[in-house]
Amino acid sequence: MQTCDLAAPPLWRATVPVFLGVLDRLEATLRQAETALGAGYAAGLDQRPEARMLPVVRQVATAVQFTLRIAYPLAGERVPEVRAPLDAGGLIERIEATRALLRALDPAAFDGAETRPVREQAGFAVLDLTGEAYLHEFGLPNLYFHHAMAHVALKQVGVPLGKADFDGKHDYPDGFSLG
């Protein structure tokens, strides 16, 4: 997690610094996949964690966009949409643009975000939640779902990813296995 001002509003602290860390891990995962897969990297981005699920490239793009879909409504602002090609370079562009947008959010805009009403589309459902419920019950689960699905699909094509690559906190010696 990025360092943050403890005097900043709680939901700013729970989103912007955390999301910058998630974006760092997503970028590191993509770079690790590029190194591991070499010429097969583009094909690896088309891998699906399961036949009816989105491929890695869409899972990553969705996770990146979710950081904005969560943070901007909590700040009382309209969600910007980051567009770039759905390919390796485009994913890095999306991550970089999203970092800049998150860093541009004023922490003071998150004052009162816990009780701010947020309306969001969830599949075919329309959700009306308080900011705190939106973050914990919808936003974070969806962000981590799409991050995890990209992680799993890249493992399926041979990228040597582990828990430390996903959360940035764990540390295991080379060759260690829980299985």
Contact 82, 65 (CB under 8 A): yes
Q: Name the nearest CA neighbour of 15 among 59, 71, 58.
A: 71
Contact 85, 50 (CB under 8 A): no
Q: Look at residue 5 and tell me whether its pLDDT is greater than 80.
A: no
φ/ψ of residue 127, rounded to 5: -105, 135
Q: What gap in Å lies between CA 8 and CA 94, rounded to an integer? A: 26
Q: What gap in Å lies between CA 122 and CA 154, rounded to an integer? A: 26
DSSP string for 119-177: EEEETTEEEEEEHHHIIIIIIHHHHHHHHHHHHHHHHHTT----HHHHHS-----TT--
φ/ψ of residue 16, rounded to 5: -55, -55
> pTM of this prediction?
0.94
With tokens 């699906």, the residue in question is 48
DSSP state of 175: T
Q: What gap in Å lies between CA 65 and CA 81, rounded to an integer? A: 7
Angle between helices 16-37 and 88-104 (to 10 degrees): 170
Q: Predicted confidence band at 3 (pLDDT cuts at 50, 70, 90)?
A: low
Tell me the pLDDT tens digit for each residue of 35-64: 999 999 999 999 999 999 999 999 999 999
Q: Name the nearest CA neighbour of 101 among 119, 84, 117, 121.
A: 84
Q: Look at residue 1 and tell me whether its pLDDT is greater than 80.
A: no
Tell me the pLDDT tens digit for each residue of 109-149: 999 999 999 999 999 999 999 999 999 999 999 999 999 99
Tell me the pLDDT tens digit for each residue of 90-102: 999 999 999 999 9
